[in-house]
Amino acid sequence: MRRKGWDNHDMPGLRMTAWRSSRSTYAQYAMPNKWFEEIGLCSLYLICKDLHPQRG
């Protein structure tokens, strides 16, 4: 997030050392799902969906 020019003052209460921060709007904006695909991480949602199609 710092590489994108964000400052701690722009993100009140956000600590990227805590998992609970991953649900924040700031973190989701800075690291969209497409970014994870671009760096080569697999989607656990898609794997589960392929293995258990009846679950939805």
Interval 9-56: pLDDT, tens: 666 666 666 677 667 777 777 788 888 889 999 988 888 888 887 765
What is the residue whose two structure tokens read 């921060």?
21
- Report how far residue 2's alpha carbon sits from residue 34's, in angstroms, rounded to the nearest whole number: 19
Q: Indicate if the alpha-carbon torsion angle 45, 46, 50, 53 is positive or negative.
A: positive
pTM: 0.51
The distance of Cα 43 from the centroid of its chain, to the nearest Å, equals 11
The residues spanned by each domain of the chain are 8-55
pLDDT for 41: 92
